[in-house]
């Protein structure tokens, strides 16, 4: 079974700074997807970024980018030029065809606070 670990329960940075959230995962499969989801105080989970395991190029979405190290089973999220609206819980998650479609395995989350 896949497991996802986020070792940073909380992080805090100043607005406009760059912050990196860590995530490691464990899997014996070759084919899987990795995700970062954001959960603001409104509770609604929103997809931030997605990475396909067989793609070597790191995914980027505007200010958000990942550092995907497949051999090390590491999937960190970098937020550049952080904004107050980035304050939220961030969850790393994995999905694979063997564990089942639409069955996301989540990490414990990192609470990120952006200070003005």
Partner 1 sequence: KAGVTQTPRYLIKTRGQQVTLSCSPISGHRSVSWYQQTPGQGLQFLFEYFSETQRNKGNFPGRFSGRQFSNSRSEMNVSTLELGDSALYLCASSLTVWGTEAFFGQGTRLTVV
Residues lying near partner 1 in the complex (CB under 8 A): 33, 37, 42-47, 50, 52, 91, 95-97, 100-109
Residue 107 CB, nearest distance to partner 1 (Å)?
8
Q: Given the complex with partner 1, which of 26 and 52 has the nearer CB atom?
A: 52
Q: Which DSSP string do the residues of 47-77 spell out, in sequence order?
A: EEEEEETT--SPPEETTEEEEEETTTTEEEE
Q: Are 93 and 23 in contact (CB under 8 A)?
A: no
User: Is residue 87 packed enough to be buried (19+ CB in 10 Å), middle (13-18) or exposed (0-12)?
Assistant: middle
Residue 108 CB, nearest distance to partner 1 (Å)?
5
Q: Given the complex with partner 1, which of 13 and 45 has the nearer CB atom?
A: 45
Handedness of CA 74, 82, 47, 12 (dihedral sign): positive
Number of residues that this document lists for the chain = 116
- Distance (Å, rounded) from C-alpha 12 to C-alpha 27? 30
Q: Given the complex with partner 1, which of 10 and 15 has the nearer CB atom?
A: 10
Residue 109 CB, nearest distance to partner 1 (Å)?
7
Residue 59 CB, nearest distance to partner 1 (Å)?
12
Q: Given the complex with partner 1, which of 30 and 43 has the nearer CB atom?
A: 43
């Amino acid at each position: 079974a896949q497991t996802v670990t986020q070792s940073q329960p909380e992080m805090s940075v100043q607005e406009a700074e760059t912050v990196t959230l860590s995530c490691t995962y464990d899997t014996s499969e070759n084919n899987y997807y990795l995700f970062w989801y954001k959960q603001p105080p409104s509770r609604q989970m929103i997809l931030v970024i997605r990475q396909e395991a067989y793609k070597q190029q790191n995914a980027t979405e505007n200010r958000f980018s990942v550092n995907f190290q497949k051999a090390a089973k590491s999937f960190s999220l970098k937020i550049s030029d952080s904004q107050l609206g980035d304050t939220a819980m961030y969850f790393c998650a994995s999905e694979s065809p063997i564990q089942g479609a639409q069955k996301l395995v989540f990490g414990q989350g990192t609470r990120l606070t952006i200070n003005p």
